[in-house]
Structure 1
Amino acid sequence: MCGFVGCHRPGAPADFDMALLRRMTATLAHRGPDSETVTTEPGLALGFRRLAIIDLEGGEQPVRNEDDAITVVCNGEIYNHRELRDELIQRGHSFRARVDVEVLPHLYEEFGPSFVSRLNGQFAFVLYDRTRGRLLLGRDQAGIAPLFYVFRDGMLLFASEIKALLEHPMVSRKVDLTGLDQVLTFPGPVSPNSLFADVRSLPPGHLLTLEDGRVTSEPYWDLDYPMAKDLDPAAEPDYDDLDQRLRRSVSRRLQADVDVGFYLSGGLDSSLIAALICEHDHANNLNRARHAFSIGFTDRLIDERAPQDLVARQVGARHHTEIFDGEAIRTRLRQAVWHAEAPLKESYNTCSLALSDLVRSNALKVVLTGEGADELFGGYVGYRLDRQRRAGAGDFSLEAQNARETQERLWGDPDFFYERDYGAFAEIKTALYAPEIAADLASFDCCQGALLDRSKMIGRHPLHQRSYADFKLRLADHLLSDHGDRVAYAHSVEARYPFLDPEVIEWVRTAPPDCLVQDMTEKYPLRRLAAHRLPPEVTKREKFGFVAPSSASLLQDGADWVEDLLSHERIKRAGYFDADTVERLKTRYRQPGFRLNTTFEPDLLMIVLSFELFRECFDVPPL
């Protein structure tokens, strides 16, 4: 819905440098092209860019309570705002507009900081209680909306994107090596780390409080699966209940005073959402052809236009498709890195950029997407491999024992295997990093510290363990961030996620885990719900991962700018990666017919290449 930036220094006068505040706010114009507000009061400065979706004329921010003692800015949507508004009016509150986020200051008046637990939405907010001198920063349960901050010398800077914070002279551009190591090791950075040493990311489901000069950050929600010993093997899942919850979730996310479209990948998840949208419109006598947006590839091995067209015809959508090739990737990769504010492991962010551009060029601001289903309903190959791995004979080699020790440290369970042997992968990282950095790897190795709450892994069913790890390491700060929020808002588009509705998450949390991957069929509940809604070409189709060409294809195309970014001299001068190792990788990737299997093999050169773009975009100095 928007982007915001601000500063809070308790006891300071309302004399924040307005020119600086406007520069910081201007960096977020893509998040909110419809209007701009900058305002100051004692101790607080706020800049806000609005993407008008609900209450187009009256929904400006900040929003305040009746006596203006509580001030709020919020990026996102509160989907249960109507029910909350009705309740608050009955409690005596009055409202000035129809905008959804106006419920926040009034909820805070009634329930204090715990009000955040009552919200169904995707949001990042800042709330200032002038009477108590308390500032709250909150981020939604799944981490759909981003929120970054810097706290130094009693001053808290905060923003929807890091680039706004970098405008402030207090914030350095020094690289957080642990954040870089997370990108190399896992799907992306993991909150609270970012790629900048000064900048923290508020984790999903967290509330940060600045009061009496002290900052605390605590979770108000987490994905908490039941203990394996408490599961009932005879329990029957209520698929009708899931159906009802998903339909309500889609209905909530179609709320808008502007047209709403949807992404259509050709896979099960987005196709089911398309069918539910169609049902909603028919049930509400909305005789309209909604817009659907897809990516097609010139490479037939990864092209999905046939199932996309099939579903689009069935739901009666106005279907728009962008055809992608290597040239399209090359022209958008720098832009993708600029918006991600981090190096990338894959090029498919460029496809997502093209999708949001396609949405905006058709005059839409809002789309629904199927993201989140894989992490909750067991959609990745790892969920099936877990069953095979646990059924196999144990490996008692020294290498296996070392891996178990690493797994115990990371996950709290020596038998849980996530993506790769991270102990062995440390050798690859050591070879890839520049010698000076590699020698100090132990000081910033992301596998040495806590990445998630291990207490939510210990004693859980293997499927629940993987789902929790995916939710924390793959979804929040990668798929919902550089692959979601950032590339959508790059073209002033808001993406909405029906599978991440708290009601849907709660159904999954309490459902028997064996129903999710049934007889080695992933996402069985969704396939069951889709069976009478979609053609078998979609419902019975094996999962087809959303992939795009790797760095090998860019190298084989011989683009000059790729050669320049990966040149031996440049890599050596930057000082982050080993130039000789990069040369060896380039030789391997250039071989005729070479093709990376990015499902199982990391695209190391894409990380190096996009890191050099990252350094250019944000003027990051060499080591």
Structure 2
Amino acid sequence: MCGICGFTGDIAGFIGRRNLEEMLGIIRHRGPDDEGIYSKGETGLGIRRLSILDIKSGHQPIHNEKKNIWVVCNGEIYNFQSLKRSLMIKGHEFYTNSDTEVIVHLYEEYGEKFVLYLNGMFAIAIYDETRKKLMLARDRLGVKPLYYILNNRTIVFASEIKALLMCNILDTELNYNKLGTYLKYRYIPGEQTLFKNIYKLMPGYILIYANNKIKTNKYWDITFKDDNNAKEELYYRENISKLFSLSVEDRLISDVPLGIFLSGGLDSTIVLSEALKFYDKRLKTFSVGFEKPLKSPNLNEYNELNYAKKVADFYGTEHYEYIIKPKEVLEDLNRIIWHLDEPLSDPTSIPLYYLSKLAKRHVKVVLSGEGADEVFAGYTIYKEPEVIKRYRKIPGFIRNYLIEPINLCMPFNYGKDFIKRAKLSVEERYKGVGLTFKDCEISAILSSDLYANSIIEDKGDQYIPSIFNNFKSRDEVNMMLFFDQKVWLPEDVLMKSDKISMSNSIELRVPFLDYKLVEYAASIPSNLKYKGDNEKYILKEAFKDNLPDFVLNRKKNGFPVPITSLLKKEYREFVMDILLSQTALNRGYFNKSYIEGYFNGVNTGNNTGRQIWLLLTFELWHRMFIDNKINKSKENIYIA
């Protein structure tokens, strides 16, 4: 696991080796063990390395025999050993035992199609000196991030945005057009970011820059098809078990200590139970929970340590846990936002930060259960198509002239949103998990000028509407899963997981997102993923013989973060001081009266805590990255 950066083009000389060193310096947390640079003519490649495999000889950049092809890679190639054997048969010579070296020889052998042979999580840069060609590639599901700038016939790339900002060829500006989108999703879907003219390479894509021209090609996509010849449940259970077992075995390859993030829920327990089949040492497991808030929610809403401890005891792991105090979150909040690059306002970044910090004391690599919910239907929202189907079976005259008129005139909101959604197609109504502000709320909170310029789906942004264009199935649950695998998973779940784990120099591996397992899951009928009231039904069935009943029968709870409770008490004054400060109000982005409504009880609802948290993280991010630009001092990079 590493951090990479580099550039090539006409003004590369203006950037220079010194800038490359500064770019590497600001992402040192991604790879504190080693640093490597390739610099020749108008091209530079750099890497900060977290040594996991081939610790002694795996120094990057890696080159071919003629030293005219160079590569840097952030991530792991899990099938590198079999690839290496086949390449050696073809006559390629290796000088390291690292997984990265197979990439350069695959490129020699197969050209731009090299990426099709890789199974892993990766962000790769290859420079071909002879053809003066730079290639960037990102893994299929988007586990590893990769950003780039194109300016004055020069491309600059990096694992994190903050590294791009060190090269001094781009002013740090807010992408105003995407502010409405950010308020809606709490992240920016698609290629754009909240920084103007900074872009993401999308998952499953390769970018080629040559002759001052850039092109991007999709090399992989998820394919859902209606299966008219569905098999017996046993068939699917056995194949899931086999594929997942292989995935876990691959992800246990490591020359350094390894552990597992354990919540006590289904997904992480499955990872643990499978890992124990292949790991010949006592596994270390890690869990965190929150100290009880003053305005206390239910126990399970802030702390699941008892569940995790029960699982750890059952499997006999070496278990570590940590209790997060509300005060320390405020002390570390700027640091967390800094590492996220964009103001990704997912509150689960907080426990993940302390979980990674805890694990860092004991291991360098961890496995986690991310991706299971998006692949095997783990959210209750996936039940909606069936509920809507039942509702539509009610005779139209009863719905139109009795149920809906009565519901709409009631003083409460219960059921109103469902009735509206039931009239829409899945393409129209489903926008993924974690939505924060509704369109009507965005128009109310944004100033009129900004609202006129902010792009949300109905005002010209074509990325979200285009997602279903080539979808081959009419199964609504599978359509929702496809959306979440394309949008929510890479833009929130995986982006957060990478940035936060790497902020503590921890490599996070996600066995549920092996692309072969994801492809197979896409072929499973959706009524076996979400069956009745059982989310992830077929996944539970596949592993039920290996799991204790207290895990199988436990209701899904997610990663508990008591953010709403904390905002009502411990964080209330802090947040009010930030959001209603002259610094924030003078920007003219948001309507003051609307924000005040959150604190005087006018604006209330299920999403209130989530909305306040979004506004807070945005303001702190703005002060850090936009107002103060980027601070190159290694002594003071976290700006209060």
1:333 aligns with 2:333: yes
> Please, which of 448, 451, 454 is the counterpart of residue 438 of structure 1?
451
1:611 is aligned to 618
**1:26 correspondence with 2:63:** no
CA distance in 1: counterparts of 2:620 and 2:155, whole angstroms: 29
How far apart are residue 350 of structure 1 and its match? 1.2
- Deviations along 1:113-167, whole A, 9 cap, x unmatched? 1111111100000111111222111000010000000001110000000000011
Distance in 2, matches of 1:472 and 1:340, equals 20
Q: How many angstroms does 1:428 deviate by?
A: 0.4
Match of 2:194, SS state, is coil
Secondary structure in structure 1 of the residue aligned to 2:331? helix
Please tell me whether residue 62 in structure 1 is matched to residue 61 in structure 2: yes
Which residue number in structure 1 is paired with residue 481 of structure 2? 467
Equivalent residue, structure 2, for 1:139: 138
Deviations 1:88-107 (A, max 9, x none): 00000010100101100100
Matching of residue 453 in structure 1 with residue 467 in structure 2: yes
Please give the root-mean-square deviation of Cα atoms over the aligned residues, in Å.
2.8
Instruction: Identify if the C-alpha distance between structure 1 residues 418 and 491 changes in structure 2 by more than 3 Å, giving closer, same or farther.
Output: closer
Tell which has more relative contact order, 1 or 2 (C-alpha 8 A, sep 6+). 2
With over 3 angstroms needed to count, the CA separation of the structure-2 counterparts of 1:456 and 1:321, relative to structure 1, is: farther
Give the one of 488, 506, 515 matched to 1:502. Answer: 515
1:290 counterpart = 2:280: no
Residue 100 of structure 1 aligns to a residue whose secondary structure is coil
Name the CA shift for 1:445/1:35 in 2 (closer, same or farther; >3 Å).
farther
Structure 1 residues 442 and 93, CA gap change in structure 2 (3 angstroms)? closer
Task: Name the CA distance, whole Å, in 1 between partners of 2:421 and 2:532.
Answer: 28
Deviation, 1:316, is: 1.6
Tell me which residue corresponds to 2:632: none
Give the distance between the partners of 1:271 and 1:220, measured in 2 at CA.
33
Q: Distance in 2 between matches of 1:404 and 1:560?
A: 37
Change (3 A) 1:589 1:352: farther
Distance 1:527 1:329, change over 3 A: same
Separation in 1, partners of 2:348, 2:435: 25
Is contact 1:187-1:473 (8 Å) kept? no
Alignment-derived partner of residue 349 in structure 1: 349
1:231 aligns with 2:220: no
Per the alignment, residue 515 of structure 1 pairs with 528
Counterpart position of 1:175? 174
Which stretch shows the higher mean deviation, 267-276 or 520-529? 520-529
1:489 aligned residue: 502
Residue in structure 1 matched with residue 494 of structure 2 by the alignment: 480
Deviation at 1:478, TM superposition (A): 0.7
1:191–1:203 Cα contact (<8 Å) kept: yes
Give the unaligned 5+ runs of structure 2.
293-298, 409-415, 630-640
Write the deviation string for residues 517-550 of structure 1: whole angstroms up to 9, x where unpaired.
1232111122113322121111111111113122
- 1:388 matched to 2:373: no
> Could you tell me which of 260, 266, 269 is aligned with 2:267?
269
- Counterpart CA distance in 1 for 2:435 and 2:554 is 30
Return the alpha-carbon distance in structure 2 between the equivalents of residues 534 and 180 of structure 1: 44
The C-alpha deviation readout for 1:318-349, integer Å capped at 9, x for no partner, is: 11111124223222222221111122333221
Deviation at 1:62, TM superposition (A): 0.6
* Separation in 1, partners of 2:354, 2:435: 35
CA shift in 2, pair 1:444/1:240, >3 Å: closer
Q: Secondary structure at the match of 2:586?
A: helix
Structure 1, gaps ≥5 residues long: none
Distance in 2 between residues matched to 1:106 and 1:508, nearest whole Å: 32
In the other structure, the counterpart of 1:314 is 314
Given the alignment, which residue of 211, 230, 240 partners 1:242? 240
2:583 aligned counterpart, secondary structure: helix
For residues 511 and 366 of structure 2, what CA distance do their matches in structure 1 show? Answer: 11
Normalising by the residue count of structure 2, what TM-score does the alignment of the two structures yield? 0.88
* Shift in alpha-carbon separation, 1:257–1:222, aligned structure 2, 3 A: same
- C-alpha distance in 2 between matches for 1:440 and 1:339: 28
Q: Quickly say closer, same or farther: Cα 1:420–1:553, change in 2 above 3 A.
A: closer
Distance 1:13 1:123 in 2: 25
Aligned to 2:205: 206
CA distance in structure 2 between the aligned counterparts of 1:225 and 1:151, rounded to whole angstroms: 34
Q: C-alpha offsets along residues 206-245 of structure 1, whole Å, 9 cap, x if unaligned?
A: 111112221111211111111x3x5335654431121111
| TM-score with structure 1 setting the length | 0.90
The one-letter amino acid paired with 1:320 is: Y
Between the aligned partners of 2:564 and 2:51, the Cα distance in structure 1 is 38
Shift of 1:391: 2.1
> Following the alignment from structure 1 to structure 2, what is the Cα–Cα distance between the partners of residues 158 and 188?
20
Is 2:2–2:49's contact at 8 Å kept on the other side of the alignment?
Answer: yes
Residue 633 of structure 2 corresponds to none
How many positions carry a matched residue from both structures?
602
* In structure 2, C-alpha distance between the alignment counterparts of 1:23 and 1:520, rounded to whole Å: 53
Using the TM superposition, give the Cα deviation of residue 187 of structure 1 relative to its aligned residue in structure 2, in angstroms. 4.8
Are 2:543 and 1:530 aligned? Answer: yes
1:66: Cα distance to partner? 1.0
1:416 is displaced (CA, Å) by 5.2
State, as a whole percentage, how many aligned pairs show the same letter.
30
CA distance in 1, matches of 2:338, 2:382: 33
Range that drifts further, 392-401 or 440-449: 392-401
Q: Residue 192 in 1 paired to residue 191 in 2?
A: yes
**Residues of 2 paired with 1:584 and 1:79: CA distance?**
51
